[in-house]
Structure 1
Amino acid sequence: MRKLIRSGTILSMDDRIGVLPRGDVLLEYDRIRAIGPSLEANGAEVIDAAGCIVLPGLVNAHLHSWQTALRGIGGDWSSADYFRILHARLGPRFTPEDLRIGTLVGALAQIDAGTTTLFDWCHGNATPEHTDAALEGLLESGIRAVFGHGTVKPAPRPGEPHFSEVPHPAAEIRRLRTGPLASDEARVTLAACILGPDYSTLEVCRADFALAREYGLLSSAHVWGNDNRLQPDGYKALAAEGLIGPDHNLVHGTYLRDDELRVIVDSGVSVTATAAAELRGNAREPLSGRVAALGGAPSIAPDTEVLNGGGMLDCMRFALQAQRIFNNQRTVAALPAGRGAPMERATSGSPIREVTPRHADVLRWATLNNARALRLDHRIGSLTPGKQADLLVVGRDSLNMIGAREPEQALLHFAQAADIRTVLIGGRVVKREGRLLHPGLAALKARLLASGDRLLAETAAG
């Protein structure tokens, strides 16, 4: 039950180990046993990584995989269109089987593209049967995951309260926490995806945060910080009541003011930016750079494949370039009028003397920082002896990768899913020689297409 990843360039993401230009990783069962040059491992299965990059599996900190069958229908939508079409019209037509096949195929696609851990934020679960079907898809895929139990947000019928006045269903959290997701050491664990201060009353916020803490769960909320949020003081009010801490994660936060963001970071709350989705319909900076400037650990994710691609390679690329745009704009805005103009004309034409963030920074966001956001950094996120054996072997000899010298830049700018030769999750090989090992992929693809076709046809028919 031992495996030896031999002779790769190792990007450990562990500050004590660093980058090894040529080294080995020894695995025993589901754990990393040792990392170093020329390790001895008699009798171990050898995976040749010569000429390849070896790194921890990528961590996707926020994805709605139940929407996989509707990829790419909303890239030109406004934010209002997303809620009006996806949630109000398409969402109610999802059956439990639609959630199962979408989650399963979406999770398999994540593995194929190098993600070994997924925060699956499931808010299409109208019934317990929907919840169980989505969870079944995750479990079947083989991915490591945090299953985020969310809630649908239908328009209220006459006499019914608005969803903002309805606490998270405690009975469902209890059922999952005392049943299939009881263990925090299992491959798939549980989180509570709550409404948060933008979408619920203060009484509901109190109840939801208390529920998550009662069961020892990470809570997560969609937050924007717009003027129309239900709680104008947002996280400042929650912090004053002691409701927030490292057991909470917020996503987006694009319009949060500096004083509130300071409270959030100082409280230890993790912040996940989804730059590709956010910049599609907003002109404000994703929170990655602002969180980093406050001493926090930025977390990044793609959000939803209805709007944009869900792979973490593309997510890192977009996050890098988007943050550089905003950092560069700040640098230019801070220059005294006329400063540097002659030099600019004589040399590069730009006053930018330092380009940030660096590639290594963004790779850390997508591995160790995302693991921290999910409270899993003691188990994953770096190649560290004792942690779970979740790792990637990425080839560098394809036409698009050959000649890419610096390993972080090779990954962020040139690597494709096809370059990921080997994926291991808990020491088990799930992708080998560039081929995903899950059986019956053709049948799963057909079921996904049929699911999406039916959802769109029924919605069009009215």
Structure 2
Amino acid sequence: MRLVNRIAALVVLLSAVSAGSSDSNSILIKGGTVVAFNQETQGLRVIRGGSVLVENDRITGVFDGAPSRVPKGAEIFDAKGKIITPGFIDTHRHGWQTVFKTIGSNTTLIEFFFRYSSLVAPFFWNASDVYDSQLAGLYEALNAGVTTSLDHATHTWSKDAADAGFQASIDSGARVLWAFSFANITDVVTVEQQYPIFRALAKKPGLKNSPTTLAIAYDAWGPNPNVAEIDKIMALAREVNVSAITTHSLQGPWGSDNSPEDIHALNYLNISIPIVFSHASFLSATGRDLLRSTNQYISITPESEMHYGQTHPVSSLIQDQASLGVDTHMTFSTDILTQARIWLQQTRYERYLDVLEQTKLPKTNPMSAEQAFLLATRSGALALRRPDLGAIFTGAKADLLVWDGDSPPLLGWDDPVAAVILHASVGDIEAVIVDGKWAKKGGKLISKGYPEARKKFLSTAKRLQEVWRGLPLPELPPVWNGHPVVDPERVDVKRGEGDGYGSVYI
């Protein structure tokens, strides 16, 4: 080895050693109630008056009382009276659509496809728009305690748009599995044109030092797949060693695309890369068995599936292979806490109804707050095959939330899990740590980039919302996937004439 190379290598080695032993990146969260993880039972372990030690990007100590060691120079965070939990994990999100917030409040899924999706946006959006919208959406998620998200990035219609969304994910400081969407969009882009874009993004500077990773999204697995195209995409997945693969999977009246059976028939289901099936609302019994045998997961998006009419008639039957997602937060909540609460009560309702329809009365509660908590945290980690996420234990990644135990909703709490799942709001999240770094503190986002991102986003949102206000509503097809498209019965909340449906105030 040449001398100059030896010197350079020595500098790198010393820097790595220094980074690993530095006390300057240490945080001790002291004296709070810690919702820790019991690795033996795979359940929760509540520690009152406990402490969590963070060094660099890892949890290096979880203490039942006073910490046995405190690194020199460590920042001490007083958590007395507060609740410490792992960050939430969102396994299905479309962050780039943030600018559409509130203008699609009553939209249906079919209308969404023809008005707000990547079938329309490329003709009006530029790369800066994608960057501003993606970044603002991720800051919004961080503020709500979502520390990890699997982003189904359907904004990959050009090199510049794809690069912008990926860079925004890196710049956010969040842990994002950014899933490049391979899709043929008429008059916009082909999958063949996307291959070099994807390869270039895999070599993006700064990626190695970021919690953000590259993943793949693909929605054409079947029932009539382009096998050559799929083989090429999967070869790329192995070449780049992507962190995950994700696909929209609905079935039922919505279509038969992208089922576990489709991917299994192509010999790509039982692989080392995690595959997340978003929604899977009408998953068959065979599909459920395949997920269990191959250890693949679905992402239930409760509010989305209610809003758009996908529903989720069988999802409660596969909760052992399920996680939670948000989907298009432009139309509803951005946070996983809301999804966990909705899903908990929806599942309780369904199981109670099973008993009541037999003219019997329920003796016990069919789903617990702890189960909802695990779905919002640990299950997401398992879906992504990241056992170091979604839990508090020594060696886990330092993705943490601190809840204000004295806030009005939490005042008087005793059970910290029930306090979070059933009583808290995202406004009660006092602090957020991602990868060992503060993202929120004192109830406010503290990223240096947020003020400028906020300013740019407001300008971008105002301009694009003005464009969309001027677009005529799409004419929806009378038949979709062989099923008639009809109006459901509209509810009435107004006495006398009219039903109170009102308008969209934009």
Which TM bucket (shorter chain)? 0.7 to 0.9
Q: In the alignment, does 2:345 pair up with 1:324?
A: no
Q: SS state of the match for residue 148, structure 2?
A: strand
Query: CA 1:182/1:375 → structure 2, altered by over 3 Å: closer, same or farther?
Result: farther
Q: Which residue of 2 aligns with 1:353?
A: 363
Q: Which residue of 1 aligns with 2:153?
A: 122
1:246-305 deviations in Å (ceiling 9; x for gaps): 52111011122222232233222111010100112326426542213xxx3320011111
- Residue 186 of structure 1 deviates from its aligned partner by 4.3
> Please, what TM-score do these two structures have when normalized by structure 2?
0.80
2:45 corresponds to which of 4, 14, 18:
18
Query: CA 1:288/1:26 → structure 2, altered by over 3 Å: closer, same or farther?
Result: farther
Judge conservation of contact 2:439–2:446 (CA < 8 Å) in 1: yes
1:368-415 deviations in Å (ceiling 9; x for gaps): 1111222222x3111121122111111110112212321111111222
Pairing of 1:34-433 with structure 2 (within 5 A) = 34-36=61-63, 37-42=65-70, 43=72, 44-87=74-117, 88-151=119-182, 154=185, 156-157=186-187, 166=191, 169-180=194-205, 183=208, 186-197=210-221, 201-203=225-227, 204-217=229-242, 218-226=244-252, 229=255, 234-245=259-270, 247=273, 248-282=275-309, 284-285=311-312, 288-292=315-319, 296-333=320-357, 335=358, 338=359, 340=360, 351-377=361-387, 379-433=388-442
CA distance in 1, matches of 2:435, 2:310: 40
Q: SS state of the match for residue 402, structure 2?
A: strand
| Structure 2 spans left out of the alignment, 5+ residues | 1-23, 472-506
Matched to 1:82, the amino acid is F
Larger radius of gyration: 2
CA distance in 1, matches of 2:51, 2:104: 44
CA distance in 2, matches of 1:94, 1:376: 34
- Residue 141 of structure 1 deviates from its aligned partner by 1.5
Judge conservation of contact 2:221–2:262 (CA < 8 Å) in 1: no
Q: Which moved more, 1:236-245 or 1:314-323?
A: 236-245
CA distance in 2, matches of 1:231, 1:113: 32
Aligned identity (percent) is 23
Matched to 1:60, the amino acid is D
- Residue 168 of structure 1 deviates from its aligned partner by 8.6
1:67-100 deviations in Å (ceiling 9; x for gaps): 1111122231111111011024345312111111
Equivalent pairs counted in the alignment come to: 436
CA distance in 2, matches of 1:447, 1:277: 28
CA distance in 1, matches of 2:39, 2:314: 25
CA distance in 1, matches of 2:29, 2:296: 36
CA distance in 1, matches of 2:157, 2:97: 14
Q: Which residue of 1 aligns with 2:58?
A: 31
Judge conservation of contact 1:239–1:267 (CA < 8 Å) in 2: no
CA distance in 1, matches of 2:192, 2:256: 15
Matched to 2:218, the amino acid is I
Q: SS state of the match for residue 197, structure 1?
A: coil
Matched to 2:365, the amino acid is V
Q: Which moved more, 1:81-90 or 1:173-182?
A: 173-182
Judge conservation of contact 1:252–1:287 (CA < 8 Å) in 2: no
CA distance in 2, matches of 1:443, 1:190: 26
Judge conservation of contact 1:173–1:192 (CA < 8 Å) in 2: no
CA distance in 2, matches of 1:41, 1:390: 21
Matched to 1:216, the amino acid is N
CA distance in 1, matches of 2:110, 2:116: 10
Q: Which residue of 1 aligns with 2:466?
A: 457
CA distance in 2, matches of 1:229, 1:27: 47
- Residue 198 of structure 1 deviates from its aligned partner by 5.2
CA distance in 2, matches of 1:266, 1:168: 35
Matched to 1:225, the amino acid is Q
> Please, what TM-score do these two structures have when normalized by structure 1?
0.87
